[in-house]
């Protein structure tokens, strides 16, 4: 039970913040529930606040409570307010049994960004609270580190609109709507990963964990499997081959293997290209293929293969939400192909293209640097 004086202070604050009578009523209802003793004291104390919106709150209470004693106190408080000059609107007929209509709180909402080349993404969880506005949680999560950054704050509906617009402007890719229960699951999953990695837990996450717990539910597999027909994708060679073209998409354009990991293989390709030994183009291509295969084998052990499988599954859902269904199916086809170990004779098209793209991105930088150095040489 809340202290009645504290409840009155809350009503005064709500009046100063220009909240509607419905918001004030629902806020009180959340705090004192239906405890008759508290309701009676609150109804009596409200008569001390000479304000039209207080009168409307009392009328709302009159609609909501059927106990005779409570209704008598509410009517007495309304009479006291009227005697102080507060305008009292005519109440609806009291005929029939009054019914308390509980506040229908808005449902929580979730949003997520695409995943970047480091396996990071932004997650946003919006949790409405009756009479209090919205609690907005945002976290940057990584599939290798867990929670990278996390914060939460209360906002009004208008404040959230401004906040969301600002995020969209700062983020190079759009946030898509994701089921709130899944966002809560992903945040909890990232928190567990942080602990597994030995990182200190986010204090903001621990402080706001009780907001997430009632929403979260466990998922046995990524959300995309509930929205795409697996039978249309699994074993579809056309879609699997097409996954190599996903790097032409804006959402995958920045994906690449870190320079320190891909450099040895880029150097090997450079050496094969610059070799003083005369090699035919066919021989060079064979050498290049050998290097690509070695990079695939070395850089994608089972744990990393599984990590990329999950990234592609999450990206498939993002693409689906963006109405890019063909790309979503290609992404899922590549992910499902990664359920099995890599085959050197039939490499996963997506990962193979990722290796080739990463090598030639590094080589192009090297060629540009060499070109610049040559241009600086002063001819005699």
Q: Find the mean pLDDT for residues 76-84.
A: 82
Per the structure block, which two tokens stand in for 130? 């009756």
As a whole number of angstroms, the distance between CA 280 and CA 263 comes to 25
Closest CA to 325 of 228, 252, 255, 242: 228
Say if residues 178 and 110 touch (Cβ distance below 8 Å): yes
Cβ neighbors of 2 (< 8 A, separation 6 or more) are 31, 32, 38
Banded model confidence at residue 231, pLDDT cuts 50, 70, 90: confident
Say if residues 337 and 348 touch (Cβ distance below 8 Å): yes
Least confident of 158-172, 233-247, 249-263, 269-283: 269-283
Per the structure block, which two tokens stand in for 110? 């979730």
Helix axes 36-45, 21-32, angle to 10 degrees: 140
Mean pLDDT, the chain, whole residue set? 85
Banded model confidence at residue 380, pLDDT cuts 50, 70, 90: very low
**8-state DSSP, 221:** S
pLDDT at 102 over 60: no
Give all strands (DSSP E) within the chain, no chain letters: 109-112, 120-129, 133-142, 146-155, 176-178
Number of other CB atoms surrounding residue 43 within 10 Å: 25
Per the structure block, which two tokens stand in for 160? 């959230």
**8-state DSSP, 36:** H
Q: Find the mean pLDDT for residues 350-369.
A: 89
3-state secondary structure at position 271: helix
As a whole number of angstroms, the distance between CA 201 and CA 208 comes to 12
Domain range annotation of the chain: 4-83, 109-220, 230-376
User: Could you tell me the CA-to-CA distances from 327 to 105, 120, 243 in Å, in that order?
Assistant: 36, 20, 8
What is residue 24's predicted lDDT score, i.e. its pLDDT? 80
Least confident of 6-20, 218-232, 318-332: 6-20
Q: Find the mean pLDDT for residues 64-85.
A: 82
As a whole number of angstroms, the distance between CA 149 and CA 351 comes to 29
């Amino acid at each position: 039970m809340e202290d009645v004086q504290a409840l009155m202070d809350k009503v005064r604050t709500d009046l100063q913040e220009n909240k509607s009578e419905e918001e004030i009523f629902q806020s009180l209802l959340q705090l004192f529930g239906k405890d008759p003793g508290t309701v009676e004291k609150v109804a009596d104390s409200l008569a001390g606040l000479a304000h039209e919106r207080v009168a409307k709150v009392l009328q709302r209470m009159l609609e909501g409570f059927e106990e005779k004693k409570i209704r008598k106190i509410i009517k007495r408080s309304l009479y006291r307010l009227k005697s102080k000059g507060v305008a009292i609107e005519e109440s609806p007929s009291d005929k029939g049994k009054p019914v308390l209509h509980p506040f229908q709180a808005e449902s929580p909402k979730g949003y997520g960004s695409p995943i970047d080349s480091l396996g990071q993404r932004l997650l946003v969880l919006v949790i409405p609270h009756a009479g209090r506005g919205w609690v907005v949680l945002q976290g940057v999560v990584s599939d290798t580190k867990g929670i990278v950054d996390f914060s939460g704050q209360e906002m009004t509906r208008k404040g959230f609109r401004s906040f969301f617009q600002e995020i969209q402007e700062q983020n190079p890719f759009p946030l898509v709507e994701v089921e709130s229960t899944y966002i809560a699951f992903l945040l909890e999953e990232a928190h567990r990963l942080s602990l597994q990695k030995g990182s200190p837990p986010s204090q903001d996450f621990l402080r706001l964990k009780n907001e997430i717990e009632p929403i979260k539910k466990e998922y046995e597999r990524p959300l995309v499997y509930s929205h795409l027909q697996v039978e249309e994708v699994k074993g579809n060679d056309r879609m699997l081959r097409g996954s190599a073209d996903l790097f032409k998409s804006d959402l995958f354009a920045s994906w690449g293997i870190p320079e320190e990991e891909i450099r040895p293989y880029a150097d090997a390709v450079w050496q094969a290209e610059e070799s003083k030994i005369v090699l035919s183009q066919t021989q060079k291509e064979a050498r290049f293929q050998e290097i690509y295969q070695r990079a695939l084998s070395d850089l994608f052990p089972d744990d990393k293969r599984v990590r990329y499988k999950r990234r592609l599954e999450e990206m498939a859902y993002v693409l689906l939400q963006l109405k890019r269904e063909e790309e979503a199916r290609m992404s899922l086809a590549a992910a499902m192909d990664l359920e099995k170990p890599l085959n050197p004779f039939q490499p996963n098209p997506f990962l193979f293209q990722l290796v080739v793209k990463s090598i030639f991105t590094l080589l192009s930088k090297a060629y540009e640097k060499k070109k610049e150095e040559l241009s600086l040489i002063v001819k005699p």
